[in-house]
Amino acid sequence: MVRSRVNLSTMVFLLILHGAAVVLFFNWYIRLNPCDGIPSNRKIHVVLLSSWRSGSSFVGQVFSQHPSVFYLMEPAWHVWTKLRNSGAQTLRMAVRDLMRSVFHCDFSVTDAYLPEHHNMSSLFMWSHSRALCSPPACSLTPRGYFSNQTQCLQTCGEVGLQGVQEACFSYSHVVLKSVRIFELESLYPLFEDPSLDLRIIHLVRDPRAVVRSREQSAKAFVGDNAVVLEQKSMPPAEIQYQVIQEICRSHVRISERALQNPPSFLKGRYKMVRYEDVARNPLEEISAMYDFVDLDMTNQLEEWIYKLTHGKGKGSLKEAFKITSRNAADVSQAWRTTLPHNKVKRIQEVCKRAMSLLGYTTVNSDKEQKRLDTDLLVPREPYQFSWLPQKTEHSSNN
Ligand SMILES: *[C@@H]1O[C@H](CO)[C@@H](O)[C@H](O)[C@H]1NC(C)=O
Ligand SMILES: *[C@@H]1O[C@H](CO)[C@@H](O)[C@H](O)[C@H]1NC(C)=O
């Protein structure tokens, strides 16, 4: 009797020991087996979901230059460009499937969208990705250094997609930027894929500033507008309002889906960021985005962000946003002096819900519009999606 009891507890002990050994060995094996890079079920996958002219190129760079990130700009561009006589609604599943493949570092799907003889230079805006200018894709920029797009463009373009794939495998984070996603439902299978760990950063901007910025290069948007509007024909003067209406609707649709009674797989996986908050508090907002996707802020990155936001050079954030003081005239305010009030009124009408949801105050007269010392941005509690009553600048700063 006594003997068998001892045996039983010994057995239990040995079983636990065995289990621990298996777990330890498995961890060790995963860590020491670099040939497949970071196993896909340990990687973090991020969609930087935004819209045209909403600061996503800058925020994209903030991810692209992070040493742990494989970044790719807009794989969806390939789908929209190849199938340009279609509509966004029809193309959304092809976009989803392309993104899923890229998250899995499988670039074979791009075959369908690229020219017959393709290489890295066939990928849209490839030189904006630091990872594509660094080993193993290209030897130009050592890992951990900041890349120079001009030099990368001259040096790295002829790498084959195999090199792109190898690069993708070797990072802990894959970040894809897209301005061509108008709802979250098509992405549900990606949230539910056990080998993906998907997070969405939803970057939005005041629609009045978006319209003003889009007007400056209206021709560039003709093809995309037709896809957004499902190829419907309409008077040319209507197009910009219909497009911004679709964009605003998508902001409402996406944030409501993610924040009001979301399916369980969506909880904690969505973060909304306003461009204006990034322009005003870049370091805080960027740190919060990094936190959200489990990336560390490094001293080097902090320095780089400081330079971008305080420098005067071309391409600096300060130059791009024309930030002159915290509350007043950054480039986000330029619409207030350049857009006619009747246009502003129309944008406010088609974007009413989005603006109140996102915290952009409407103006009711031309006079109000031009009174630049009135801040139209409703302050937000940092890192939360809840609007607070007006606070002093100092206390909303921490
Ligand atoms: C990038 O490289 C180009 C060409 O070598 C150079 O002229 C430019 O100043 C560099 N840009 C930065 C930001 O270092
Ligand atoms: C890479 O692609 C570019 C553009 O399609 C082409 O001009 C070049 O010859 C290609 N290089 C290789 C090595 O395939």
Task: Report which of 101, 96, 162, 164 is spatially closest to residue 127, judged by C-alpha positions.
Answer: 164
Q: Which ligand is nearest to the CA of 121?
A: 2
Which residues form the pocket of ligand 1, taking CB atoms under 6 Å from any ligand atom? Answer: 148, 150-151
Q: Which ligand is nearest to the CA of 156?
A: 2
Segment (H or E) for 176: strand 173-178
How does DSSP assign 171-221, residue by residue? -SEEEEEES----SGGGHHHHH-TT--EEEEEEE--HHHHHHHHHTTGGGG
Are residues 331 and 275 in contact, defined by beta-carbon separation less than 8 angstroms? no
What whole-number distance in Å separates Cα of residue 107 and Cα of residue 105? 6
Q: Is 192 touching ligand 2 by the criterion CB < 6 Å?
A: no
| Ligand 1 atom 7: residue of nearest CA | 150
Q: In the chain, which stretches have pLDDT less than 70?
A: 1-6, 8-9, 11-17, 19-36, 41, 311-331, 381-398
Question: Cα angle at 204 between 199 and 205, to 5 degrees?
Answer: 160
For residue 62, report the distance from its CA to the centre of ligand 2, in Å.
29
What whole-number distance in Å separates Cα of residue 9 and Cα of residue 101? 49
Segment (H or E) for 25: helix 2-32
Q: Which ligand is nearest to the CA of 158?
A: 2
pLDDT of residue 279: 86
| Ligand 1 atom 13: residue of nearest CA | 148
Among positive and negative, which fits the CA dihedral 172, 293, 182, 239? negative
Question: Cα angle at 133 between 314 and 157, to 5 degrees?
Answer: 95
What whole-number distance in Å separates Cα of residue 105 and Cα of residue 162? 10
Q: How many CB atoms lie within 10 A of CB 5?
A: 9
Whether domain 44-370 has CATH 3.10.20.30: no
Mutate to test the pocket of ligand 1, among 148, 304, 312 (most ligand atoms within 8 A of CB): 148
pLDDT of residue 42: 87
Tokens of 131: 């990872």
pLDDT of residue 3: 53
| Residue 38 CB contacts under 8 Å (≥ 6 apart), including other chains | 169, 170, 171, 172
pLDDT of residue 309: 77
Mutate to test the pocket of ligand 2, among 114, 120, 153, 158 (most ligand atoms within 8 A of CB): 158
Among positive and negative, which fits the CA dihedral 246, 251, 252, 253? positive
Mutate to test the pocket of ligand 1, among 151, 154, 312 (most ligand atoms within 8 A of CB): 151
DSSP character at residue 233: -
Task: Report which of 165, 75, 158, 167 is spatially closest to residue 121, judged by C-alpha positions.
Answer: 158
pLDDT of residue 392: 36
Q: Is 172 touching ligand 2 by the criterion CB < 6 Å?
A: no
Q: Is 36 touching ligand 2 by the criterion CB < 6 Å?
A: no
For residue 175, report the distance from its CA to the centre of ligand 1, in Å.
25
Segment (H or E) for 344: helix 341-350
pLDDT of residue 8: 67
Domain ranges of the chain: 44-370
Which ligand 2 atom sits closest to the C-alpha of 157?
A: 1
What whole-number distance in Å separates Cα of residue 289 and Cα of residue 120? 28
pLDDT of residue 22: 60
> pLDDT tens digits, residue range 52-79?
999 898 899 999 999 999 999 999 999 9
